[in-house]
Amino acid sequence: MKSNRRSFLQCVFFTPVAAFGSSPLIPGALQTSQEQEIFESPLIIKYDSHCFIIQGHDALVYGSTFHYPRCPKSLWRDRLEKLQRAGFNTIESYVFWNFHEREEGKCDLSEFEEFTKLVKEMGFWMIARPGPYVCAGWHRGGIPDWVAAKRFPLRSNHPENIKWSQHWYELVLPVIQRHQITMGGPIILVQVENEYDFSPPMAPAAKLEYIRALYRFCYTSGITVPIITCWTKEARANSDPAMARIMDTCNFYPRWEVVKQVVPQLIRLRLAEATAPLGVTELQGGWFSKIGEKLSVDQDGVNGAQLNLVTKTVLEQGVTYFNYYMGSGGTNFDWAGKTMTTTYDFAAPLREPGGLWEKYYAARGICTSLKLFGNVLLRSSMVELAPTSSNPSVSVTERASGKAGVVFVREEAGAPQRFRMSFQDPFSPTLRTITAPREGELELAPHEMKMLPVALQVTGTRIRYTTAEVLAHGPIGNWEFLVIYDEPGRLAEISLASATEPKVEGDYAYNYWDEGFESVVLGIRIEKTENILFINNHLLVVVAPRERALRSWTAEFTAKFIPGVEKPEPMSVPFLTDAYQFVASGITKKGLWAEMDFQPGEHQLLALLPPTPLKCFVDGLPVAVDYERPRRKTRVNVSTPALPVEPMALQNIQFRTEKFDPQSGEWLAGPLRALEDLGEAPFGYVKYRAEFEHRGERAMFLTAFTDDVKKVFINGKLAAEASNIRREVEFPLAAYARAGANLIEIAYERFGSYNIGKELGDLSGIESVRLGADAQTATAIEKWQVQRLPAMMRGREIDPQISQMTQKDWQPEELGSVAASKEIVPAFTWCRAEFTLPTIGGGWTVPWKLIFEAERDALIYLNGKFIGRYATVGPQKEFYVPEPYLAGGVKPINVLTILLAYAAEPHVIRTLRVWPYEEFSARRTRIEFEW
């Protein structure tokens, strides 16, 4: 195939665009010779209409987006370990051009490469998305300011845009190339562009030219894994040889309108990309939060139930590649797109401070199911005889592959439902119809969806069908176990294969023996704790409540140290509990151990162990064990004490006021220019000052490059009419200016550019300020002084040397001791507060946050590093305190530095507290069993 590379290059890269521009979008229009050229390394990775085939094996790709710049480097491993424990097999990330090449010609991709190596080390596959445009709620969608300053249409076929896109690809693609799976690395897919259907309007031929150019750069740079994109209809033009090599995918953020938004688009994608697997590059893992709106976690339609619904719906439709955006939340450390909050928590399964919540466990339940029977879905198709439901508000569908299948059950009216269902048995030679349940009715909660295996071979038996979902199965010594789960109070029905009528021990609602199909049907009531049935003296069926099941874990051990076990082979031990997370496990000469994190409170652990353990230790101390031999149940109580820390209120501070003083800090002099023309600078408040003569002119005309917030002061007085986000402002001077010399001061709020839309290339700053009777004849103020960052800043951090040098200027104060002024003034007040976190031992993990409220907007720094932008309009008042930013050493002193906008004193601060994330705090516990 590689011998055809030259001819393919000539075909793709030297054929005029017009030759393809009017070609019809014919699904599956590739000829056999073209199909043979689609994959560079088909023995390592390729795909067909069903799925990816990776190293010779069909692969279901289920991933989590994790943005490495949104998390301090030393926390990457912690976050990836948690995603690994959830069960994901893939990590996806953008590669942010403006993060790596902040100044033209100075590119540093070391962080991306370090992250990629860690992903490989931890056993994930990886998807790299180098843009150049990435959106992502990120400043200018990842395109550097110095590129925008060149003033050409971004995301277009303009020669300059293609030139600079090539410049970026020539930097980033060699790093991606050497870490492809075809080179022994983790990267299995590379995405070009991003949601190009939503780019600024262009002629179809122009858009096609740009996408073909990006593909050309990949191809000539040695990218040998499949190229993908998302929401880019040009990539669906498979009569074009280059587009035939780009797999298009969908992105979905439907909240509760899952079926309405998802199903029709997947049908269209299936028709357009007939030779590729159905893929969703961004499946809703949450949503961002914006200044003045709701925090992600407070929004509707982004919880665990919605994640469950949208994921199982795309799987029902045949998707074999999906990726949660976001799978792991993060922080906008100075790189937020316009109007974005500092927190990029996203209400993701893994929260901003690394915390686990109900959505994480929902994602884990899905990943667990896919590990158990995802292989059934890979080459499945909808059954011809459609399943039925007794309730029109409950949808029942089925996919089958060979002699196994999966039934999908979805509630569609947003209300509790009861129903019975019928579906096909793919294992039956006659494809018999199964109706369930035998007695009573099944239940679904609003928006609930289930994914239920049919005719699935598990350890020790075959599940004919089940109305409860499956968590785990495996060997345990000389026995086998199966764990199923549902909501307490419900009836669940499970049918298991058995050559003869089985002996069933335990509590159940009903038991039917179906001799003709050699199966037993059991009705079981779900309780608040586990119920265990013992079948034919070898199979333990554990029926668990859903919430506990999704926080239960299975670990693999070698059984050689256990007396009475005939097969010294690997065995699985389920630990049924409500653990925060399962961390590690292993064996000793006498037994086994497991480490789990528990949150404060009383916990009951149930482990299935073959013989009675002689001893049990919790954190090294012997404890009593309740062992029930017939069902191998070992119960241990774990008591986790209350969180051993208290919140801290910070009242005593120091403050100093920074005005528009040209003698303080670095000022640039000259005419007004776009801020992007002045070089790289952090986000924040830009100061402008100029003197002007007022000779009776009626008005002032102010023009900004874009619609950023600005505050305008004339002779120290706020000009309210000009202090807004409008690009062009006209206001009368009579109320502000005096005859003769005057001073204008402007605070320009530079907090990110748009990350999408026609404003993507907008420059920032004040473009002109003019005086006159009308806009046409007004005269410009020519001489300006501009300070791009406050005097104490050096780059993106507070300079500790300057802070020390100005020590004499800091005044002590107690917050709340006097009433705050309400006046908006041309000044900024720096506040400093010190705190020391308590030393917490005993295996505790406690993340911290700052709670801050004030009557002015503010920027917050911890030990010199930016951690938050506060806005009085909300919604964010809690700011994650990253552990690596905390001071080290004995009794370390941490310094909070806060920049208050438009204030000359600190009493505008209402709340300043350092607080633990109680909901994400947990204590590690080691449990050991000996024989």
**5, pLDDT greater than 70:** no
Peptide bond before 875: cis, by omega within 30 degrees of 0? yes
Please report the pLDDT score of residue 681 as a whole number.
86
Q: What percent of the chain has pLDDT over 90?
A: 88
In the numeric block, the tokens 């399943």 are attached to 387
Average pLDDT, the chain: 94
Q: What is the distance between the alpha carbons of residues 396 and 418, in angstroms, rounded to a whole number?
A: 13
- Pull the structure tokens for residue 514: 């179906």
Q: What integer pLDDT is reported at residue 370 of this predicted model?
A: 99
| Residue 429, number of CB atoms within 10 A of its CB | 7
276-to-52, 252, 273, 376, 901 alpha-carbon distances in Å: 9, 19, 6, 18, 53
List for the chain the helix, strand, coil content (%; round to 5).
20, 35, 40
- DSSP letter at 620 equals T
Give CA angle at 452 (329, 501), nearest 5°. Answer: 145
pLDDT tens across 392-426, in order?
Answer: 999 999 999 999 999 999 999 999 999 999 999 99
Contact of 432 with 519, CB cutoff 8 Å:
no
Q: Is the pLDDT of residue 169 over 80?
A: yes
Reported as a single tens digit per residue, the pLDDT across 819-847 is 999 999 999 999 999 999 999 989 999 99
194-206 residue pLDDT tens: 999 999 999 999 9
Residue 17 has pLDDT above 80, yes or no: no
Q: DSSP secondary structure string, 269-334?
A: HHHHSTTS--EEEEEES----BTTS--GGGSTT-SHHHHHHHHHHHHHTT--EEEEETSB-EE-SS
CA distance 671 to 784: 6
pLDDT in tens, 485-541: 999 999 999 999 999 999 999 999 999 999 999 999 999 999 999 999 999 999 999
Q: Tens digit of pLDDT for each residue in 367-399?
A: 999 999 999 999 999 998 889 999 999 999 999
Q: Phi, psi at residue 638, to the nearest 5°?
A: -120, 125
User: What is the three-class DSSP state of 682?
Assistant: coil
pLDDT digits (tens, 9 = 90+) for 556-586: 998 777 776 666 678 899 999 999 999 999 9
pLDDT digit string, tens, across residues 294-319: 999 999 999 999 999 999 999 999 99
Q: Using alpha carbons, select from 673, 663, 721, 712 the residue that is nearest to residue 692.
A: 712
Q: Is 292 left (phi over 0), alpha (psi -120 to 50) or beta?
A: left
- What pairs with residue 831 in β-bridges? 655, 898
Q: Is-contact 27 274, C-beta < 8 A? A: yes
| pLDDT at position 629 | 78
CB 770 within 8 A of CB 782: no
Distance CA 145, CA 103 (A): 9
What's the pLDDT at 268?
99
The pLDDT of residue 35 is above 50? no
Place of tokens 């149940």: 633
Low-confidence winner among 183-197, 885-899, 906-920 (lowest mean pLDDT): 885-899
Q: From CA 351, how far away is CA 344, in angstroms rounded?
A: 9
Domains of the chain are: 2-371 (3.20.20.80), 666-787 (2.60.120.260), 793-922 (2.60.120)
SS3 173: helix
Residue with the larger pLDDT of the pair 34 and 453? 453
How far apart CA 821 and CA 828 sit, in angstroms, is 13
* 598: Cβ contacts below 8 Å, ≥ 6 apart: 578, 579, 580, 638, 640, 922, 923, 925
Read off the pTM: 0.95
Q: Is the pLDDT of residue 183 over 90?
A: yes
- For 203-261, the pLDDT digits (tens) are 999 999 999 999 999 999 999 999 999 999 999 999 999 999 999 999 999 999 999 99
Least confident of 97-101, 628-632, 639-643, 755-759: 628-632
Span 766-823, pLDDT tens digits: 999 999 999 999 999 999 999 999 988 887 889 877 666 667 889 999 998 899 999 9
Q: Which of 533, 843, 770, 674 is CA-nearest to residue 150?
A: 674
**Which residues neighbour 137 within 8 Å (Cβ) at sequence distance 6 or greater?**
288, 332, 336, 337, 340, 344, 755
Q: pLDDT category, 631, cuts 50, 70, 90? A: confident
CA distances from 335 to 339, 765, 867 (A): 11, 17, 11
CA 252/CA 314 separation, integer angstroms? 10
Q: pLDDT (tens digit, 9 = 90+) per residue, 336-354?
A: 999 999 999 999 999 999 9
Q: Per-residue pLDDT for 4 more than 60?
A: no
Rounded to whole angstroms, how far apart are CA atoms 302 and 253?
Answer: 9
Pull the structure tokens for residue 682.
Answer: 């952090």
pLDDT score recorded for residue 802: 66
The token pair at 469 is 């979902």
Q: Would you state the pLDDT for residue 564?
A: 67
The DSSP 8-state label assigned to residue 674 in this structure reads -
What pLDDT shows up at residue 1? Answer: 33
Of 258, 278, 240, which Cα lies nearest the Cα of 380?
A: 278
In terms of Cβ atoms closer than 10 Å to its own Cβ (0-12, 13-18, 19+), residue 629 is exposed
- Residue 533: the pLDDT is 97
Q: Can you give the pLDDT at residue 801?
A: 72
Instruction: Report DSSP letters for 455-493, one per residue.
Output: SEEETTEEEEEESSEEEEEEEETTEEEEEEEE-TT-EEE
Kindly report, residue by residue over 115-136, the tens digit of the pLDDT: 999 999 999 999 999 999 999 9
Task: Please state, in angstroms and as integers, the Cα–Cα distance from residue 544 to each residue in 68, 483, 536, 634, following that order.
Answer: 37, 7, 20, 15
Distance CA 802, CA 789 (A): 14
Q: How far apart are CA 618 and CA 606, in angstroms?
A: 14
Alpha carbon distance 310, 250 (integer Å): 13
What pLDDT sits at residue 569? 77
Predicted local confidence at residue 23, as pLDDT: 31
132: preceding bond cis by omega (within 30 degrees): yes
For the chain, percent of residues with pLDDT exceeding 70:
95
Q: Which of 307, 594, 342 is nearest to 447 (CA)?
A: 307
